[in-house]
Chains A and B, each alone.
Chain A
Amino acid sequence: MLEIKNLQVSLAEEDKEILKGVDLTVEAGKVHAIMGPNGSGKSTLSYVLSGKDGYEVTGGSASLDGEDLLELEPEERAAAGLFLAFQYPVEIPGVGNMTFLRTAVNAQRKARGEDEMSAAQFLKVVRERAKTLKIDSDMLKRPVNVGFSGGEKKRNEILQMAMLEPKMCILDETDSGLDVDAMKLVSEGVNALRDEGRGFLVITHYQRLLDHIKPDVVHIMANGRIVKTGGPELALEVEQNGYADILAEVA
């Protein structure tokens, strides 16, 4: 599904290489986790895949179901089925959460040549999915993420994911800033979307999240590369010993 080959990325503004040849394939129906020290390039990878400005791809490729992602505008990548749950969701004063959701859903449908959702139909679906994430109607009415707590922002990300039903979901530290209950809600939200047609790339520092969202494959990223790949046991190893042993082993 998601195929990343030898991806090399530098900052557009300064001559600094951040991703130094990332290879990664996520198959449909699978959950891959990426762990790794701060600053190793995990968020950069998620941004480059979703098309954020400020990065220059100097080599390699990334495709979704064979379609070259790097050639597409961010909105086209979204319409192609890519979704990024942001590490730091953005606050947008003046744009209502509901308006935002409906605009996004219908824009994607339009881009794919599907019919737009009617207001009534949309309302029904959004209420239902918001409820399972304990997002109340007040949060739906408020401007996007404005005044939301850290946990509310992350739940709002998952609501967007649930509404957009992407093929490939990237979650960047969705667990950071969550208490135990919120973590459970978010994980349930993610698990509800697990499907054999859908792939997940879960970026996290903690085994905690992976207790809920069971990964099939775990990768360790360091200094702009995937340095080790293994099964779920790799995450447990990190939890117990930190990254030092693994980094020493691959150095």
Chain B
Amino acid sequence: MGIAESRISQLQDRVAGLSVPASAWNAKNRAAAVERLQSMGLPAPRDEYWRFTDPKSLNAIEAPKAALFDPKETDVFDTIDRLEIVFVDGVFDATASDELSGSNMSIERLSDAEGQDTHWTADCYGALEAIGQTPVQRPFAALNTAYATDGVLIHVTGKVEKPVNISYRHANETSDAILHHVIKLEEGAELTLLENGPAAARFNKSCEVFVADRATFHHVRTQGRDHERRAVTHIFADLGTESVFKSFTLTANGALTRNECVLRLNGDDATAHVAGASVGDGDFHHDDTVFITHDAVGCESRQVFKKVLRNGATGVFQGKILVKPDAQKTDGYQISQSLLLDDDSQFLAKPELEIYADDVACSHGSTSGALDEEALFYLCSRGVPKDQATDLLTLAFLAEAVDEIESDTLSDLIVDKLEGWLERHRP
């Protein structure tokens, strides 16, 4: 059996237990995704794009078991006035959720919408994912579009004051969840999306975001808690003229997290910032894979990823900036750094620039280093205990990523979470 056939047969086994939900308006989108997936097959460890992250546990038929972990903390966004939507192991929890309504937006569950005859998402569902399959294939995103059991569809027509918070709880040790969200911001609209929680033993989540001209989308999420959980997530976004897209992710714990972010800057003077802070101890594998395409004039993109790794944890960064021939005056910045707190941990990075326009300013850098011993001694010599000094320096290292969060209230919550995590994970 050749490689191609083995991939396909592996795929048949992988999806055998999944079914495509029926829907009048979404059937063609779902079927197209099934077709895309069939033509790609599942990723293999020898694939260039999966060189640093073994897809085995994501390819496995059953989700590997993940014990529940209760750090005895409140949820990160509890103090925020928000519209909360709760999924437990990928299943919508009506009791725990707020009423799905808000001014300047329509908000609905995918599974409810699919029962209707027509829907505004008919042209959106799977559309960005399909485009995002070139030039690099993303099989788990196609799988998601094809088999997602639910999700949230948000159509934003103006400024939405209260953030929408999708909260993912994990209650079953072998749960395998697939959710797909679609968010469409009309011209000048504004939305903040918050996401938090461990979600499931294995979680495949996709979020497609259409940001029209002059619209603003802010996204802050945390992925944490359960040490054995696994997740593969995709964000696909298209950005219109003068639109703003900012996404920040805090990841703590987790046996495997692969966060892909695929952005296209299609309108002039658009801004896209993607940032991530991740902290891992021991059996932790975290992968940020970003692909940003500049296809318009005068756009700015920033990627800021920081990782703190200890006790054999692994961090991966694959980040690409592609500047199309007409994307003059592009300003692209990319930095990925890791702080290795011991010799057992590793950081694997593949930064890439591919530039076809001549008038651009793009820079990228990737570093890996230990704590600054001189700084540590300086702090200790002033009476700061070594543990506390280490935490201070670690937070300082992460600050450039956390500072990408626009709202001080939200960034303070993220810093609180980080402080708590660092305190619990002192050597």
Write the residues of chain A forming the contact surface with B, with a CB cutoff of 8 angstroms: 50-53, 73-75, 77-79, 83-84, 86, 89-95, 99-100, 103-105, 107-108, 111, 143-144, 160, 164
Minimum Cβ distance to chain B for residue A216 (Å):
25
Q: Is the CB of A103 within 8 A of B397?
A: no
Q: Is the CB of B383 within 8 A of A79?
A: yes
Scan residues 376-408 of chain B and give those whose CB is less than 8 A from a CB of chain A: 377-386, 388-389, 392-393, 395-397, 399-400
Minimum Cβ distance to chain B for residue A49 (Å):
10
Partner of B379, one of A73, A92, A93: A92
Q: Is the CB of A94 within 8 A of B383?
A: no
Main secondary structure of the interface of B (DSSP, over half): helix
Tell me if B375 counts as interface (CB < 8 A to partner A).
Answer: yes
Q: Encode B136-175 as 1/0 by CB contact (under 8 A) with A.
A: 0000000000000000000000000000000000000000
Minimum Cβ distance to chain A for residue B279 (Å):
15
Q: Is the CB of A73 within 8 A of B386?
A: yes
A-B contact pairs, 22 of them (CB 8 A): A51-B381, A73-B386, A74-B380, A75-B381, A75-B385, A78-B380, A78-B382, A84-B381, A90-B372, A92-B378, A92-B379, A94-B397, A94-B400, A99-B392, A100-B382, A103-B379, A104-B383, A107-B384, A107-B388, A108-B383, A111-B385, A144-B378
Partner of A164, one of B379, B382, B392, B399: B382
Partner of B396, one of A53, A86, A95: A95
Q: In the complex, how many residues of chain B place their beta carbon closer than 8 angstroms to a beta carbon of chain A?
A: 23
Tell me which residues across on chain B come within 8 A of A92, comparing CB atoms.
372, 375, 378-379, 393, 396
Minimum Cβ distance to chain A for residue B370 (Å):
13
- 6 shortest A-B CB distances, which residue pairs? A94-B396, A78-B383, A108-B383, A104-B382, A74-B380, A90-B378
Tell me which residues across on chain B come within 8 A of A79, comparing CB atoms.
383
Tell me if B78 counts as interface (CB < 8 A to partner A).
Answer: no
Q: Is the CB of B392 within 8 A of A103?
A: yes
Q: Which residue of A lies closest to B396 (CB)?
A: A94
In angstroms, Cα B392 to Cα A96, docked, is 10
Q: Is the CB of A111 within 8 A of B383?
A: yes
Q: Is the CB of A74 within 8 A of B377?
A: yes
